[in-house]
Each structure stands twice: as structure tokens, then as C-alpha cells.
Amino acid sequence: MIIILTIFLLSFFVNALLFIPFINLLYRLKFQRQVQKTRDAFEQPTPIFDKLHKSKAGVPVGGGLLIILITSLLFPLLLLALKLFFVPITVLYRLDVEVKIILVSFLGFGLLGLYDDLKKTFMWARDAFFGLRLRHKLLIEILIAGVVASWLYFDLKIAILHIPFLGVVNLGILFIPFAALVIIAFSNAFNITDGLDGMASGVLMIALFAFLTISASILDTPLSVFIALWLGALVAFLYFNVYPARIFLGDVGALSFGGTFAVIGLILGKPFVLVVIGGIFILEVTSSLLQLLSKRYLGRKLIEVAPLHLWLQLHGWSEPKIVTRFWIISVVLAVLGLWLSVFTT
């Protein structure tokens, strides 16, 4: 445990020292949130969102990029250092395969999000003001998630679901589409949740502490090292991301973090617990999905605006109040998830 705590502190201090010059660099590059009229997934205008979030224009995006770069660099180096100093590394799976799956998820979704951020920020094409079109983004997400899900099944031999109190379900080859769906769902759910200062990153921080507890309990060293590195970087980022935010994750961070969070839950063999611990993400994406489907097929809005955090903001809740209460709910969900994990071993 002392090693994991040391890795967390190392990551925190490295990222904390780099974030201020990184924010200044983003300002110089003009990599900032644009003043724009946004649109939803069906290319419909979102005037309520624009009104509530117009003050956020000009804040740099791309905080997730620094976290991804530093974490991806330190992860293999620290594992190598542990080996060189003869520190025992315990694994549930082949070390190289587990590292490959984690990094491909982290970097693959990050690159997709970075392209989306660049297109939205610098408007490379006439239709680029809102980033990648939904169908294009979804196709790339399916490709990345499909590759990762296949590795989980064929290389790590993961094919079962642990359902608390009920037992084990073996999905066989169907685990691949199931895992891909989970990864895509959480990648987009995190992106939707990342709408208020400090909310998505704070919820993820709480959820990752729960996952770190689980990974340490089952002695999965590489996963524990990665989560500790990610957590240290995330806490450093959160210092600059709380209201009023000095920097945003951007899609580079949101897509990567949501997808990788799901992958960790799947590697741990606890997709049910993943849904509980990540309950805020599920709530946010469900409210947004129901709103889109209602507008598309019923021709009317289900509620005034979605996702849920935006609806609460419209009804007079202050941004810090929404974020703080979502954090509190996340703590409860994390504890509940840890409790349920005892029944899914």
C-alpha cells in the first residue's frame, strides 16, 4: 500500500507543477472554449444551454490531454522500476496484455476526443463548429471499443458477469458486444456529465478511489498503479477545475476517462458494480437519451432541458450546489458499490 500511496503523491505533484504552465500554453495557442450556438446530437439548437453557459467561453480546454500524456508516460516506467527494484508485481492476467488494453483505451479515446476538440476550437471545416458529427464519432468509438472488448475476451478470457446475490452468468462470445456497449456508453456518459465546473472530474475521483480499493484487495498491481497515477493527476486537475474553472477537460479527457473507467470495471470483472459506482454517469446519460428520443419520436421535450444537471441549473440551483450534491451522492454510490463487490467475488 505504501507504494501505491507514493505513486499517487508523485503523480499529484508532477501534474500540479505542470498545470499552470500548461494552462498558459493553452491560452497562447488559443485552445479555448468558443462563444457559439451549440446543437444537440440531432443538430437542433440548444438556446437554454447557450444562455446558462455563455460565461464559460474563453476558458482553456484540453486539461485531459496533460493527464493522459503524463499518466501514459509514467505508467510503464513505474512498472519497469518496480521490476528493476525487485518489488513483487502480482497480476490477475498477463502483464503485457493488461497494460496494452489500459493504454489503448486511454490513448485511443483520447485521440478521438482531441480531434473533436481541435475541430470545434479551430473550425477546420464549415460544419466543424460543433465538432465531429454523431455518426462519425460513434463509428470510431465502436471500432476502438470493439478492439478492446475483443482483447478482454480473447486475451484475458473474460466472459462472465457477476450479479450480486444471483451468481455468475457466462456470456461466451456475446461478451464482446456487451463490453463494447458498456465502454461506449460510459465514454459518452462521462462526456455528457462534464458540463459543470468540477462535476465529472470530482465524481470520477470518488469512483476511482472505490476501484483502487477493489484492485488493491485482489492484488492487481498494474491496475492499482494505473489508478493511483490517474487519481493523483485528477486531484491536481480538480484544483484548477472547481468553480470557477480555470481549465476544462475537453473531449480529449471526457471520452478517454469515461471509456477507460468502464474498461477498468470490466477488467475487475464487476460490470454490475461499475454501474452502481458510476451511477451519476448513468443518470446523466439516461436523462439526455430520454430527452433526445422524446424529441425525435414524440416531437416534444420530456423536460425543459437535459441532462439532469442542466435542468437543475435552469430551476435555480447554483452550479456549486449541484456539483457538491452530486459528489455526495457519488460517495454513497461508491460505498454501496464496494459493499456489493463483496457479493460478486
Helix, strand, coil percentages in the chain from 3-state DSSP, rounded to 5:
75, 5, 25
Euclidean distance between CA atoms 23 and 59, whole angstroms: 9
On whether the CB atoms of residues 89 and 220 are closer than 8 A, the answer is no
What is the distance between the alpha carbons of residues 150 and 259, in angstroms, rounded to a whole number?
15
Cα gap 269→60, rounded to integer Å: 37
| 251 assigned binding-site residue | yes
CB 197 within 8 A of CB 237: no
For helices 221-241 and 250-267, angle between their N-to-C axes, nearest 10 degrees: 150
Are 221 and 91 within 8 A, CB to CB? yes
C-alpha span between 148 and 111 (Å, rounded): 15
CA separation for the pair 222, 200 (Å, rounded): 25
Q: 202 phi and psi, to 5 degrees?
A: -70, -40
Q: Is 170 annotated as a binding residue?
A: no
Backbone angles phi, psi at 45, to 5 degrees: -65, 155
Kindly state the cell numbers that stand for 229: 497515477
State the binding site for Mg(2+): 191, 251
| Known binding-site residue numbers | 191, 251
